[in-house]
Amino acid sequence: RRSRARTRHGRTTGARRPRGTLTELHLSATVRAAAPHQRARGRSGPGLVVRRDDLRQATREGREGNLVLFLVDASGSMAARQRMSAVKGAVLSLLLDAYQRRDKVGLVTFRGTSAEVALPPTSSVDAAAARLESLPTGGRTPLAAGLLRAHEVLRVERLRDAARRPLLVVVTDGRATGGPEPVALASRAARLFAAGGTACVVVDCEAGPVRLGLAGRLAADLGGTAVTLEELRADSIAGLVKDVRGRAA
């Protein structure tokens, strides 16, 4: 269930002309490339006459690691606690699923006037459980700050491991409050992810009879998709992440 990728390890899937230094010879492909030219090259003995242009590099396909980063609106009170409860369950479920894999899961929350990394990207269930035990909620909704902090977390992780495939899961109703032009700032911050090609999904937490559809607009700015929290439980949020990872691959 991890994303397929060309790697240095895994099963051999084919051959190509080497770009730069040949690191792993694909023997049968090299023989097939050299065989038609033996008479023109004056072969007279039992061995093949092999030229540099005949050499073929083996290509392998393995499974690359994923980084699932949750960005959660921790503003408000009761609704925020419900969001946090669902996300905690999803984080722990994904970490259990990632056992003996290269996957990582992280969590960024935003509330009041800023955002914080509640759980740095990790593959440890014990570390996550300890960090997620108590998370504060309440206050305004600095959505732009949350998006920028999440973008920075992914940037740093990309420098550490460029092969890891990122997925951003934003859990919010799409509202942005606090500071000048909070909605416009959030929209500009969201477009950073679209420009970078990061896979994104927005879990829309909007409730009540009047729906503004702000989470859908956020998903459009992110270049991702939106689903509603009402359709999900903690385990199905984890299922949603696995489905999005599979479609991205």
Please name which of 137, 145, 138, 136 lies closest in space to residue 114, comparing C-alpha atoms: 145
Please name which of 224, 247, 195, 235 lies closest in space to residue 71, comparing C-alpha atoms: 224
Question: Domains in the chain, please, with CATH?
Answer: 3-62 (no CATH), 65-248 (3.40.50.410)
Task: State CA 13 to chain mean position distance.
Answer: 24
CB 176 within 8 A of CB 212: no
3-class SS of residue 170: strand
The kind and range of the H/E element at 104 are: strand 104-111
Query: What pLDDT score was predicted for residue 64?
Result: 67
Q: What is the pTM of this model?
A: 0.69
Per-residue pLDDT of the chain (249 residues; tens, 9 = 90+): 445 545 555 577 788 898 888 888 999 999 999 999 998 998 888 889 999 999 999 887 655 678 889 898 888 755 667 777 777 777 777 777 765 566 888 899 998 888 999 889 988 888 788 877 777 778 888 999 999 999 999 999 999 888 788 999 898 888 888 777 888 999 999 999 999 999 999 988 776 666 677 888 999 999 998 887 666 654 566 666 667 666 665
**Measured CA angle at 89 (ends 64, 203), to 5 deg:** 75
3-class SS of residue 5: strand
- 105 to 13, 82, 157, 168, 195: CA distances (angstroms): 30, 20, 11, 10, 22
**Angle, helices 182-196/214-222, rounded to nearest 10 degrees:** 40
The secondary structure of 197-232, three-state, reads CCEEEEEECCCCCCCCCHHHHHHHHHCCEEEEHHHC
Query: What pLDDT score was predicted for residue 1?
Result: 46
